[in-house]
Structure formats: structure tokens, C-alpha cells
Amino acid sequence: MPSLEPLALPQGMRATSATRAVLGLWQADADALLSEAEVEAALRGQGVRVNRVTVYRLLDRLARAGLLRRCVDASRVARYARPAQEAAAGAAARFECADCHSAFRLGASGDAAGQPLQDALRQLWQALAASGLQGRAIDVAVTGLCSDCRGAPAQP
């Protein structure tokens, strides 16, 4: 089993059961891309009693502390992901299906397109540097049809 680095709490933040449960979601799946509603549902599923405001505040504090990264999709839904893995390339890419509105990270570990995508992002980075621009973050959002909605055959 791959070990994930434990997430340390920002200073002054209490390790309540809700906080631990929220961080636990990204410790269980480092590539998770979750909306507030999904986090709320996952916590309820674990028997953690939370309300929407608590989850919003928690996600907001974790994003401000840099533990999570907030991104807003085409339908204005905020989703949260861990920034750790994209730090290497300094870029993040995500995909949103226009049909079923499923959203996921591109280039996640285990993703077949992962390596070529990370390479492409790295090239984008180098192109920026070559043109004399100093980029700080690259945020790529792709809207399209997921393989389920396209009816594409599964990989052999």
C-alpha cells in the first residue's frame, strides 16, 4: 500500500472530528476532486455529523492554508483538490463532462494519459519561461464528453 504523507493542520486549527474526517478523504484518495456537497455526503456516510456551513468554512480554511486547492468549474461549482502532486510541474489539469457533469483530475497517478499530460504541461511551462514570462500557476480546465457519455469501448 502506498503511504501518503500525513496532512498537518494549519496553525490555530483544531483537530475536530470533522476536520480529521475532511483531511481523511484526501488521505484515502490523494487525487480526489470534491465539491462541498460531495465532502458533506462523504462525511455523513462516515457518521460524522456536519452542516453545510461547517464544511464550507473548513474547506475554505484548508484552501487558505494551502492544504487544498480550490477550483471552480463551468457550472460555477467549487471543487477542492490536494495541491501536492501538481507542485512538481506547477500545473493542474481537470476535466469536466458536459453531459453528466462528472469531474476529475487529468494526469492523476494511474491515469493512462497521466505522463503525456504532465509532459505537455511541463512544455507549456517551458514555453512561458522561453517567452520571458514568469508563470506561477497553470490551471487547465477541459470541458468535453467522458468515455461513458461518448460510449467509447473500455480499454482492453
Contact, 97 vs 103, CB < 8 A? yes
CB of residue 100 to Zn ion, shortest distance in Å:
3
Assess 73 for contact with Zn ion (CB under 5 A). Answer: no
Whichever of 124 and 149 has its CB closer to Zn ion, that residue is: 149
Assess 99 for contact with Zn ion (CB under 5 A). Answer: yes
Distances (CA, A) of 126 to 38, 133, 143: 36, 10, 24
Residues 6+ apart with CB under 8 A from 74: 96, 98, 141, 143
CB of residue 103 to Zn ion, shortest distance in Å:
10
Assess 88 for contact with Zn ion (CB under 5 A). Answer: no
Near Zn ion by CB under 5 A: residue from 13, 124, 141, 149: 149
Q: Give the C-alpha separation, 88 to 83, whole Å.
A: 10
Piece of the chain touching Zn ion by CB under 5 A; list 8-16, 69-77, 113-121, 141-149: 141-149
* Residue indicated by cell numbers 478523504: 25
Question: Phi, psi at residue 82, to the nearest 5°?
Answer: -80, 135
Assess 100 for contact with Zn ion (CB under 5 A). Answer: yes
Q: Give the C-alpha separation, 133 to 152, whole Å.
A: 39
Assess 103 for contact with Zn ion (CB under 5 A). Answer: no
CB of residue 58 to Zn ion, shortest distance in Å:
29
The C-alpha cell that represents 54 in the structure block: 461547517
Whichever of 33 and 91 has its CB closer to Zn ion, that residue is: 33
Residue ranges binding Zn ion (CB under 5 A):
97, 99-100, 146, 149
